């Protein structure tokens, strides 16, 4: 069942020189999750932040930290992000041969486990793991950078995954990430998404705009 729409601002679009303040402001503006993009310069062509930054940000918000690991290999880093204060840890289906083990290790640390699919990865990649997942993240851009254009053909995949989640009878967040603004938000919500990651669209205009940015995204129906 599609849950209430939740907004997960990606701090990749925040002012990195003021990250603590930015997290506080976006929390106060109504963010449901704080989306943290971790990139390793290997799985994706960009390098962002590590567990030390997650730990430093933890006192600045009580909202769930939704940590998106674009990292391969990922297993050696799961414990560090769990200890740093991640609530949801999402790994990529393409990041290694033993995703099942990775998901189990996230769960064994008492954290929620997410699986992310790159645009070229089919919906069926979730099938053998769906009974353990708390979140499925559909990438609607190629991961690596904020501010990219939404990839249209992911709408069908969102619909397919919505059907699979409903058939499973489990409560699983269906999150989308990349190129989300008020117009693409409407379409992904119609397709069945219920958590919207938004970097550019959340942080545009500076702190005085964050509240409006988030409520407009939430109301994109």
Residue 181 CB: number of other CB atoms within 10 A?
17
CB of 1 to ligand DX5, least distance (A): 25
Judge contact between 201 and 35, C-beta under 8 A. Answer: no
3-state helix, strand, coil in the chain (%, to 5): 40, 20, 40
Out of 32, 134, 173, 177, the active site residue is 177
| Chain residues in the site for ligand DX5 (CB under 6 A) | 10, 12-13, 35, 37, 68, 141, 143-144, 146-148, 177-180, 197-201
The whole-angstrom separation of Cα 160 and Cα 63 is: 29
**Which of 173, 121, 124 is CA-nearest to residue 151?**
121
Q: How far is CA 83 from CA 55, 113, 164, in A?
A: 8, 15, 32
The residue whose Cβ lies closest to Zn ion is: 68
Q: Which is nearer to ligand DX5, 174 or 201 (CB)?
A: 201
Within 147-186, which residues bind Zn ion (CB under 5 A)? 177
> Residue 58: helix, strand or coil by DSSP?
helix
How many whole angstroms from its chain centre is CA 217? Answer: 15
The whole-angstrom separation of Cα 160 and Cα 137 is: 13
Out of 32, 37, 134, 194, the active site residue is 37
Contacting Zn ion (CB under 5 A), which of 43, 68, 185, 191?
68
Is 40 considered catalytic here? no
Q: Which is nearer to ligand DX5, 127 or 152 (CB)?
A: 152
CB of 16 to ligand DX5, least distance (A): 13
Q: Which stretch binds Zn ion (CB under 5 A): 13-21, 37-45, 50-58, 186-194?
A: 37-45
Contacting Zn ion (CB under 5 A), which of 37, 40, 134, 194?
37
Is 66 considered catalytic here? no
Catalytic residues: 37, 177
| Contacts to Zn ion by CB under 5 A | 37, 68, 177
């Amino acid at each position: 069942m599609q849950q209430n729409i939740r907004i997960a601002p990606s701090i990749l679009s925040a002012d990195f020189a003021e990250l603590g303040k930015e997290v506080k402001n976006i929390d106060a503006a109504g963010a449901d999750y704080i989306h943290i993009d971790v990139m390793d310069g290997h799985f994706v062509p960009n390098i962002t932040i590590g567990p030390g930054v997650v730990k430093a940000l933890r006192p600045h918000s009580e909202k769930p930290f939704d940590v998106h690991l674009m990292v391969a290999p990922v297993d050696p880093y799961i414990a560090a992000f769990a200890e740093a204060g991640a609530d949801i840890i999402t790994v990529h289906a393409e990041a290694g041969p033993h995703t099942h083990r990775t998901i189990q290790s996230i769960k064994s640390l008492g954290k929620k486990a997410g699986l992310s699919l790159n645009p070229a990865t089919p919906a069926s990649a979730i099938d053998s793991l769906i009974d353990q997942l708390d979140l499925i993240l559909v990438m609607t851009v190629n991961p690596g950078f904020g501010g990219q254009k939404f990839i249209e053909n992911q709408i069908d995949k969102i619909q397919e995954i919505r059907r699979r989640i409903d058939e499973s009878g489990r409560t699983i967040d269906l999150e989308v990430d990349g190129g989300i603004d008020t117009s693409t938000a409407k379409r992904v919500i119609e397709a069945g998404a219920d958590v919207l990651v938004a970097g550019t669209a959340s942080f545009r205009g500076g702190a005085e705009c964050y509240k409006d940015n988030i409520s407009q995204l939430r109301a994109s129906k």
